[in-house]
Amino acid sequence: SDPKVQLTCDNPIEFSKVDANMLPTVLLIGRPNVGKSALFNRLIRRREALVYNTPNDHVTRDIREGIAKLSDLRFRVLDSAGLEAEASSGSVLGRTAGMTENVLKRSQLALFLIDARDGLQPMDLDVGKWLRKNAPELKTIVLMNKAESLDDGLGSLAAASGEALRLGFGDPIALSAETGQGMVELYEALRPLLEDYMVQLLNEGNQETSPSEDEELKTPLQLAIVGRPNVGKSTLLNTILQEERVLVGPEAGLTRDSVRVEFKYHGRTIYMVDTAGWLQRTNQEKGPASLSIMQSRKNLMRAHVVVLVLDAEEIANARRTMKHDEVVIARRAVEEGRGLIVVVNKMDLLRNSRSYDSVIKAVPQEVQTVIPQVTGIPVVFVSALEGKGRIAVMDQVIDTYGKWCLRLPTARLNRWLGKVMGRHSWKDSASQPKIKYFTQVKARPPTFVAFVSGKKQLADSELRFLTRSLKEDFDLGGIPVRVMQRIVV
Ligand code: GDP
Ligand code: GDP
């Protein structure tokens, strides 16, 4: 949801107050059975993990993501189990390449696990080589897991450490995901690195970073089409694909969940996130609605833009526009910081019905009511079956993505701030906080920090006012804009 964070100037950074969306991402990597899952579980404790890409063969495994808690540290942790096959076989199939790229690009730090008991294996060296090749800039810490079993006083731990140096990532940390031994050392190694990242993130906005449009065009737009079974997701995707050049189609012979669809729209590469679950299933095979939520939730983690499809006929027949699980998905998308578009499908069924107009009126209203924190979520009415609305949907996707990637220069923002502060009716002039400057610290989605001088902080209502004004003045409908404050003295 909206502003929660207050970063004060006196370090240390309070990670527990940082918006989850801004937290650094730490990737767990290593060959199978070194204990990545065990460490992942220890780091997220009972917190919820989001699992995506769950094929039913043994070629790849899940990618899990969760919020790690290590004393006062918080960070996003990614368990990269799915990358193993690729790294170890050495043959980049292209099948997971997009995902890999995505995972590496999102990570600020890698924790490279090896098994302290086994000593260095050829596969560990492969993983190291692979990391260096694909992410030469990624700061990597080697963890010798299962170290509790080596505490034999015979120097085997020291020997293992010496061996681990051969990986070329510096001194390893010995720990045990199982017993928790070594977690203090891990904390001490992580803290300065994660803090540096946060400080850099906050300061980045102070420089005039101009958007690199090239880069935006180069990276595929990751699109998820989500919704309950039978609302017409497959039909909609098929109408979109009919007209476009499909670069990579469903791959035969692999698991059905590893289908990957990539196509071009107006010169931009669009990568469909996890369509397989509903694309290949026949109607009879479709599971209960709750299944589709799970499917949708895991898709959200990878998507830039989420299209939530609703069924117009269901809306006309029911009193409520959105069913509970649809509201859950929409809120989730916004909380995860994704751009959201609502598509009302099957409008053809209402063509001669009295409900036609009321549906068109009711849906945007209800969307606004159930997701008050994001104003102006686009709602598109289509008939996928008749192939109508394809362009409207795709144009909206491109538009939303552009806004999601928006970077506003600090100078422009401060000119804007000057005007907007005059608009708010502050209780009295003394109660008006002094915002020294206002800056965007992050895009995708746009995240801003108000640097406030003196003792007076911005009240929640004032942060909301700034958020709302930004959305209105820069036309950021459907985008979860975030505004935080930082006190400067
Ligand atoms: P992954 O394939 O890298 O995710 O590895 P897992 O987390 O599934 O662990 C593989 C095996 O190693 C499991 O049987 C774990 O119980 C075991 N394991 C994980 N961490 C430790 C540890 O710190 N000490 C010991 N002795 N075993 C561990
Ligand atoms: P999914 O489960 O969300 O992927 O839904 P499907 O695309 O499989 O569609 C479910 C059913 O709705 C199929 O029988 C489709 O033919 C039908 N359907 C999809 N879109 C439309 C539409 O725009 N109008 C009508 N009348 N039916 C549609």
Does residue 390's CB lie within 6 angstroms of at least one atom of ligand 2? no
Per-residue pLDDT averaged across 308-333, rounded? 88
Instruction: Decide if pLDDT at 429 tops 80.
Output: no
Least confident of 33-47, 145-159, 379-393, 396-410: 145-159
pLDDT value at position 296? 54
This model of the complex carries an ipTM of 0.60
Taken in order 438, 440, 446, 450, is the CA torsion positive or negative?
negative
Helices 390-404 + 233-243 axis angle, to 10: 90
Q: What is the pLDDT of residue 307?
A: 93
Angle at the Cα of 423 (from 476 to 19), degrees rounded to 5? 45
- Ligand 1 atom closest to the CA of 31, numbered from 1: 3
Cα separations in angstroms, 102 against 32, 228, 315: 21, 27, 36
Q: What is the pLDDT of residues 372-408, one digit of tens each?
A: 888 889 999 999 999 888 889 999 999 999 899 888 8
For the CA of 28, the nearest atom of ligand 1 = 3
- 222, 276, 352, 390 from 16: Cα distances, Å: 29, 36, 54, 42
Return the higher-pLDDT residue of 256 and 354: 354
The most confident of 55-69, 136-150, 252-266, 412-426, by mean pLDDT: 136-150
**Tens-place pLDDT, residues 352-372:** 898 999 999 999 999 999 998
Least confident interval from 28-42, 122-136, 297-311, 379-393: 297-311
Residue nearest to atom 22 of ligand 1 (CA): 146
Residue 220 identity: P
Summary mean pLDDT of the chain: 77
pLDDT above 70: residue 247: no
149 lines ligand 1 (CB under 6 A): yes
- Give the residue carrying structure tokens 């012979």: 253
Count of CA atoms in the C-beta half-sphere (13 A) of 85: 13
Residue 347 pLDDT exceeds 60: yes
Structure tokens at 347: 């409008």
Where helices occur in 261-311 by DSSP H, the ranges are 276-279, 289-300
Closest CA to 28 of 88, 114, 123, 150: 114
Closest residue by Cα to atom 20, ligand 1, is 35
- Mean pLDDT along residues 197-211: 60
pLDDT at residue 191 tops 60? yes
- Compute CA distances 303 → 113, 205, 270, 401, whole Å: 28, 24, 11, 11
pTM over 0.90, yes/no: no
Three-class secondary structure of residue 249 per DSSP: coil
Distance (Å, rounded) from C-alpha 44 to C-alpha 429?
46
Atom 14 in ligand 1: residue holding the nearest Cα: 33
Q: What is the mean pLDDT of residues 297-325?
A: 84
| Closest protein CA for atom 9 of ligand 1 | 35
